[in-house]
A and B are shown apart, each in its own frame.
Chain A
Amino acid sequence: MQNAQVISVMLVTVCLLTAGCLAEEKSPFYGEEIKPAVGVEDFILLDENGEPYALSQLEGKVIVIAFLFTRCPDICPIVSANLHYVSEQLGDAYGEDVAILSITVDPWTDNSNLLKQYSDERGFHWPHLTGSLEELQPVWINFDVGLTTYDSDQDEDGVADGFDRCADTPEGEEVDHDGCGVDTQQSEDTTVTVNHHPLSYWIDHTTGTIIVDKDFNQRVWWGDSDWNAEMVLEDIKYLLEE
């Protein structure tokens, strides 16, 4: 009787284990699989040359889409550099079978001229898109981009706190492009640089890179802090072979 009870418990356990294994469907991607896949709605934005750019022209290609802005000082340059690396590693497939797009989250500053300057200076060859807030908002929503602007400026030096590396600049002192006073907040061995950029507002955005399959479905999501170029390449190759 005791053995029968033990065997029963063991059988239930095996059944549950089997059910668990069957239920777990392993993702074929290294990035986060978007499940169920979300369809991409067509859009027309402006590229860095000021020309209209329709997503529909990329039909049949795997598309890598990143949401960035030119003033972004930290994570965006890394993502852009990774995208550049991916484009180079793809060889002939890049352009023919795979496309890369950067879409701004800062339409208030990033116009076509600025995007052209940004991409030319860095040697990026993929389209950098912008548009009006009304044009971009549906795209952000489609790709589930969250963003918030704020203009808090603790030391009132004209540089919003997000950009400001010196949050206690003395009143009235001119600041460099890091928000540090050019007279009192510079270390001796650094070159002081000022530039004309609107730093009066900061943008917080939930960032990620989305890989879209050949049928315009969002399939893979890579958080910017998890970006691994080699693994992104593998995910792209998987979608190319589908």
Chain B
Amino acid sequence: MVKLQIAGTRNLRDEVKIEILRITLALFAILLIAPAASAHDGMTFEFNMENNSVQPEEAEVRLNDSVIFYNLVTDSNRTITFSTEGANRTIDWQCSSGPSDSTTNSDECKIWFDPSLYKATIIEIQIYENDSLWNIFNLTLLEDSHDENGPPDGGFNLPGNNQQPTGSSDEIGLENIFLITAIVSFSAAGYIWISRNFFGESSNMMSKQDGEE
């Protein structure tokens, strides 16, 4: 009986140990998977090198953003190059992308505008197709100068009063009530006067004529 109890306690201890090990491993895995926290993550922009054009044709990106060029044609290589003054030195960048291939990433070129290497400027991107210049476009590189905190969860709401000032002309004020009453009274007075002086006389005349007949 005592032996059974000891065996039961040991089993329980082992299970607790295993559970602690599982939790530790899970936490470790989460730490490995989760990206480092960042106040402002860069964005990735994609450029499609089509048969006759690059889409989009203009771009405004910020330091810390990435750009990927995809070659969408199946019969040509494309080489992307640019030369720009970086933060510390001139940067000459070149990357070749093979014909479109959905099974590999050989048809793409990616660049990250590392804030420690690049500075805000306009970069002229030149694209060569089979060693001859095929396309040129400008990419505007801006300072990473803005926050992306966003409003609080659930949105922010500040109910204004439509900024409609009091005493605006749209309101029916006391003066307007006076005016409306005056117009109604004036119309009523006019109606009474006309009906008594014209219709009253003519009806009297008609009744006189009826009497004479």
Q: Using CB atoms and an 8 Å cutoff, list the residues of chain A in contact with chain B.
A: 2, 5-6, 9-10, 12-13, 16-17, 19-20, 23-24, 27, 32-36, 108-111, 113-114, 117, 133, 137, 140-141, 143-151, 174, 176-177, 182-183, 186, 191-196, 198, 200-201, 206-208, 221, 223
Residue B167, interface by CB 8 Å: yes
Given contacts A109-B147, A149-B155, contact A17 B59 (CB under 8 A): no
Contact partner of B146 (CB less than 8 A), chosen from A17, A34, A114, A141, is A114
Residue B164, interface by CB 8 Å: yes
Given contacts A33-B167, A149-B156, contact A109 B146 (CB under 8 A): yes
Contact in complex: A195, B185 (CB < 8 Å): no
Contact in complex: A35, B167 (CB < 8 Å): yes
A interface footprint on B110-128 (CB within 8 Å = 1, 0 otherwise)? 0000000000000000000
Contact in complex: B179, A200 (CB < 8 Å): no
Contact in complex: B165, A33 (CB < 8 Å): yes
Contact in complex: B48, A193 (CB < 8 Å): no
Contact in complex: B163, A146 (CB < 8 Å): yes
Given contacts A20-B179, A148-B156, contact A196 B58 (CB under 8 A): no
Contact in complex: A13, B182 (CB < 8 Å): yes
Within 8 A of A (CB), among B92-108: none
Residue B178, interface by CB 8 Å: yes
What is the minimal beta-carbon distance from A88 to any residue of chain B, in angstroms?
26
Other A-B pairs, 9, CB within 8 Å; known A117-B145, A141-B158, A174-B45? A5-B192, A13-B185, A32-B164, A33-B165, A33-B167, A140-B158, A146-B160, A146-B163, A148-B155
The 8 closest A-B pairs by CB, nearest first: A146-B160, A113-B145, A195-B60, A192-B56, A20-B178, A23-B175, A35-B167, A16-B182
The main secondary structure of chain A at its interface with chain B is mixed
Contact in complex: B147, A108 (CB < 8 Å): yes
Chain B residues contacting A149 (CB-CB under 8 Å) are: 151, 155-157
Q: Using CB atoms and an 8 Å cutoff, list the residues of chain B in contact with chain A.
A: 43, 45-46, 48, 55-62, 65, 140, 142-143, 145-151, 155-169, 173-176, 178-179, 181-182, 185-186, 188-189, 192-193, 196
Q: What is the CA–CA distance of A109 and B149 in the complex, to the nearest angstrom?
A: 7
Contact in complex: B48, A147 (CB < 8 Å): no
Given contacts A182-B48, A196-B61, contact A221 B163 (CB under 8 A): yes
Contact in complex: B58, A182 (CB < 8 Å): no
Contact in complex: B158, A137 (CB < 8 Å): yes
What is the minimal beta-carbon distance from B100 to any residue of chain A, in angstroms?
14
Contact partner of A16 (CB less than 8 A), chosen from B60, B164, B185, is B185
What is the minimal beta-carbon distance from A135 to any residue of chain B, in angstroms?
14
Contact in complex: A32, B168 (CB < 8 Å): yes
Contact in complex: A223, B163 (CB < 8 Å): yes
Contact in complex: A17, B179 (CB < 8 Å): yes
Contact in complex: A196, B163 (CB < 8 Å): no
What is the minimal beta-carbon distance from A153 to any residue of chain B, in angstroms?
13
Q: What is the CA–CA distance of A182 and B168 in the complex, to the nearest angstrom?
A: 47
Q: What is the CA–CA distance of A19 and B146 in the complex, to the nearest angstrom?
A: 59
